[in-house]
Amino acid sequence: MIIDVKRWGFFQLDSRFLDEYRERPVNWGFGDLSWVTYKRTYSRDGEDWWQTCQRVIEGMFTIQRVHCLERGLPWDEEKAHGFACKAYDRLFQFKWTPPGRGLWMMGSDYIYERGGAALNNCGFISTKEIDRNFSRPFAWMFGMSMLGVGVGFDTKGAGKREIVRPERNDDNFVIHDSREGWADALTCLLDAYVGEGSLPATWDYSQVRKKGAEIKSFGGVASGPAPLQKMLETLDALLSTYVGKKVDSRLIVDTMNITGRCVVSGGVRRTAQIAFGEPDDQEFLDLKMDMEKVSAWRWASNNSISAKVGMDYSDVAKRTAVNGEPGYLWLDNARAFGRMKDPADWKDERAEGSNPCVEQTLWDKELCCLVETYPAHHDSFEDFKETLRVAYQYAKTVTLIQTHDAGTNAVMLRNRRIGCSMTGIVQAINKHGYRNFFNWCDEGYGYIQYLDKKYSDWLCIPRSIKTTSVKPSGTVSLLAGATPGVHWDHAPYYIRRVRVQAGHDLIDICREAGYHIEEDHYSDNTMVISFPTKVQSLDRRKNEVSLREKIDLAAQVQYYWADNQVSCTAEFDPETEADEIPQILAAYETRLKGISFLPMSNHGYVQAPYEAISEEKYNELMEGITPLKQGPSGTLAHDQDDKFCSGIACEVKL
């Protein structure tokens, strides 16, 4: 057991305190859409919101309690309970939220027994050492993805290994019914193709639980062996075409993407990938041109380049103008700087990449936990500071838990990296004023540094290498009714599509209420529910905001708030703004660490998460829709989180 609750006991909120919230109405930001998103994604065993808040807060303070008592550090139960009540109330009111990972996993037995990897949003793995251990980065990606971590990877291993014809034995490889068992099968296959093992005569899937069986530890239901079998067969066929050839960037990306497809196609989890290639690697840049492969598995990652300050962006930006890829990560900026306001300190000189939404600077094998705050849900900076104290403490608490992976622990326990994020930033600017909001950012950042020294000293752990970021916050923002991250709202009226595992009881509830439901075009065993949405208060829709203004907002937040990074998908008009992309990249390359783009039309994806509609169309769709019967609803699985993006590559994420 990682968190020894049997010896040290649990932290518990007083039942009299909880009684105040049992019947209190929840201020769901988008009504039915928010409730369905919550029930689909975060409600364990049919929880209601007050119970999810209880599990999260009790889990957070249990981890602190055990950490202190195990080490003989001071622990004041009464003081902790007082602060826990404040943290609970602010969570219930959506002044802050854990990330989706935390809403689902914090306080669960799985975390106490298996470690903290599943509480982390972000990860990165480098392929630079595949000459030493070929299968390691792919197995790491696969294992973390099955826990719901979004993972970035690079293509630095290209040219470092040669694929050989594998030896075959007479064995029957029995695949154990666990995350580790699936990863072992992947490792066996990959190692055989570099001469470090042999392929079995048969893969035995008999121990893998049948589709629909309950997964008691992690939660959800089993996908059955079909996705795993498809992955192994596809990789076997792919690798056989490389016999006698060097590993190239295409093979690295395809192998990662095929493992990602396996995780997604089970229908019970969503993960994310981002691939980082070199700007002059034409093979990498052409990966999304093969539409057959894109449809088969290459949709599983966003692809970005490791950009260099001063480079010529003209050619690569032409590709970005077509479908938004590649995106851009200025790794040297991420290594050298915290906030762009502050002098270079090179704290992150060993950073290798970033996570799929590019809000976290990460070392090889590093994971990181994010946490959300909602500045527009506050009327004063003093109130917001109290929320920052809660949010910071949640994220720092997650760093107290070791993971199942020794290499990851070696990085995380040193760096203690966290990402205190803001969402609803456009709403906050509209409410508090442009300059006043950035004063909040600047003063809030300073306050978090004060908190980090205070709490790190108390817990007797290192200070965090970096502490702040802005994530895109698609799903959690839906609960709170916030605009996602630094982005403007889509339109005054739009269809918001939510992906749900086939067989989930929410499908019948939504169908009975009159919502449109159809099969997912991209993922097996997944249904899409369409929610007509009306924005109650809209300053400007995103297509009324220039590309430069979108980029500039990200740069300002990178300057005043984020010492990690700001996740920004800058949507542009392909007819009038595509030609500006090279100039914008050159103008902002010293003010940003990462940026991605997306054309506002012709993205080529059906069933996009957001689709603007007219008021007339909205009224037509709402005819015949009745309020959902919001009652107890069992959660068959921890299903998808949706990221803010209009394309499927951002959708297929945790």
Q: Is the N-terminal amide bond of 574 cis, ω within 30° of 0?
A: no
CA distance 503 to 143: 25
- Which residue ranges in the chain fall short of pLDDT 70? 216-220, 266-270, 602-604, 631-654
Clarify whether residues 129 and 240 are in a common domain: yes
Nearest CA-CA partner of 100 in 31, 12, 37, 10: 37
357, 368, 510, 568: the active-site residue? 357
CA distance 570 to 595: 7
Clarify whether residues 293 and 215 are in a common domain: yes
Residue 493 lies inside a defined structural domain of this protein:
no
How far is CA 597 from each of CA 33, 224, 398, rounded to the nearest angstrom? 27, 37, 32
Residue type, 193: Y
The pTM of the full predicted model, rounded to 2 decimals, is 0.93
CA distance 530 to 517: 6
Whether 645 sits among the annotated catalytic residues: the reply is: no
Nearest CA-CA partner of 412 in 472, 444, 369: 369
Residue type, 145: S
- Within 8 A by CB and 6+ apart from 581, the residues are 313, 317, 320, 321, 547, 572, 597
Clarify whether residues 38 and 110 are in a common domain: yes
Cross-strand partners of 367:
123
What is the tens place of the pLDDT at every residue in 213-256? 777 666 667 788 999 999 999 999 999 999 999 999 999 999 99
Residue 347 lies inside a defined structural domain of this protein:
yes
* Total of domains in the chain: 2
CA distance 471 to 464: 18
**Residue 269's pLDDT is what?**
53
Clarify whether residues 451 and 353 are in a common domain: no
How far is CA 83 from each of CA 8, 78, 291, rounded to the nearest angstrom? 20, 9, 53
How far is CA 549 from each of CA 161, 449, 542, 566, rounded to the nearest angstrom? 45, 29, 10, 15
Residue 610 lies inside a defined structural domain of this protein:
no
Structural domain ending residue among the three candidates 312, 330, 362: 362
User: Can you tell me whether residue 617 is helix, strand or coil?
Assistant: helix
Nearest CA-CA partner of 334 in 239, 465, 460: 465
Q: Which two tokens stand for residue 21?
A: 């919230």
How many C-beta atoms surround the C-beta of residue 513 within 10 A?
A: 15
**Residue 67's pLDDT is what?**
98
How many C-beta atoms surround the C-beta of residue 529 within 10 A?
A: 24
Clarify whether residues 104 and 127 are in a common domain: no
Clarify whether residues 284 and 313 are in a common domain: yes
Residue 533 lies inside a defined structural domain of this protein:
no
Q: Residue 271 is part of which domain span? A: 122-362
Residue 184, Cβ density class (10 Å: 0-12 exposed, 13-18 middle, ≥19 buried)? middle
Structural domain ending residue among the three candidates 552, 567, 582: 567
Whether 357 sits among the annotated catalytic residues: the reply is: yes
Clarify whether residues 161 and 142 are in a common domain: yes
Residue 487 lies inside a defined structural domain of this protein:
no
- Within 8 A by CB and 6+ apart from 60, the residues are 84, 87, 106, 107, 393, 394, 397
**Residue 521's pLDDT is what?**
87
φ, ψ (nearest 5 deg) of residue 124: -145, 140
Residue 54 lies inside a defined structural domain of this protein:
yes
Cβ atoms of 532 and 647 within 8 Å: the answer is: no
Q: Which two tokens stand for residue 307?
A: 């950009």
Q: Which two tokens stand for residue 531?
A: 């929610």
Clarify whether residues 109 and 238 are in a common domain: no
Clarify whether residues 290 and 436 are in a common domain: no
**Residue 135's pLDDT is what?**
98
Clarify whether residues 356 and 471 are in a common domain: no
Which CATH number belongs to the domain containing residue 41 in this structure?
3.20.70.20
**Residue 631's pLDDT is what?**
63
Residue 522 lies inside a defined structural domain of this protein:
no
How many C-beta atoms surround the C-beta of residue 118 within 10 A?
A: 26
What is the tens place of the pLDDT at every residue in 347-381? 999 999 999 999 999 999 999 999 999 999 999 99
CA distance 504 to 640: 12
Q: What angle do CA 290, 291, 293 make, to 5 degrees?
A: 70
- Output the CA torsion 35→39→42→44 (10° steps): 140
Residue 261 lies inside a defined structural domain of this protein:
yes
Strand extents, DSSP E, 580-643: 594-599, 610-612
Cβ atoms of 175 and 206 within 8 Å: the answer is: no
Clarify whether residues 398 and 444 are in a common domain: yes
359, 372, 580, 589: the active-site residue? 359
Clarify whether residues 219 and 142 are in a common domain: yes
CA distance 524 to 269: 12
Nearest CA-CA partner of 554 in 429, 467, 432, 452: 429
Structural domain ending residue among the three candidates 342, 362, 382: 362
CA distance 626 to 617: 17
Cβ atoms of 402 and 413 within 8 Å: the answer is: yes
